[in-house]
Amino acid sequence: MITIHPTADVQSTKIGDNTYVWQYSVILSDAVIGSNCNINFNVFIENDVVIGDDVTVKPGVQIWDGIKIGNKVFIGPNVTFTNDIVPRSKVYRDIFEKTIIEEGASIGANSTIIAGIKIGQYSFIGAGSVVTKNVPANTIWYGNPATQKGFITNDGILLSMDRKDKKGNVIDI
């Protein structure tokens, strides 16, 4: 069963079971959204968008054409995606940059993701970061511009740059 709040404007019929769409969200007709997703309030999802299963999209996020989001991804409040490297008013591109967010990645609140990059599996982007280049799997990035600050396991254990946990144990990823 799909739950759509009465104030949401959901034009797509390609939404998986157990997905919840909250108040004032807009989902355009060609968007594809997986099962068991939580599309929070005030989210805009354009046409050429694919969202996997078990994805959480927090309030105030716009997901533009060309963005592909894998399974089990977390997108924090007010994350900003771009899809045009050189935007101009009243100039409409035929094709937009492709941005890929791989399975298990987490993107912290108020981060900006520049068009055309890939964020690797189970990577972690800290709140307020500006991500301008590809992020390898199982890495931690934050800052403006974001740089790698450590590693993270698939289970969410934070590791230093020398792959040590808080107790000083070296952990293989």
| pLDDT tens for the chain, residues 1 to 173 | 999 999 999 999 999 999 999 999 999 999 999 999 999 999 999 999 999 999 999 999 999 999 999 999 999 999 999 999 999 999 988 889 999 999 999 999 999 999 999 999 999 999 999 999 999 999 999 999 999 999 999 999 999 999 999 999 999 88
Identity at 139, one-letter amino acid code = T
CA torsion angle 38 44 49 52 (round to 10): -10
Tokens linked to 122: 């189970």
Sheet arrangement for strand 38-39: 3-4, 20-21, 38-39, 56-57, 74-75, 106-107, 124-125, 139-143, 146-152, 158-159
Is 105 in contact with 122 (CB distance < 8 Å)? yes
Tokens representing 114?
Answer: 């520049």
Domain limits, the chain? 3-159
What is the value of pTM for the model shown? 0.96
Burial of 42 by CB count in 10 Å (0-12 exposed, 13-18 middle, 19+ buried)? middle
* Owner of token pair 């040590």: 164
Q: What is the CATH number of domain 3-159?
A: 2.160.10.10
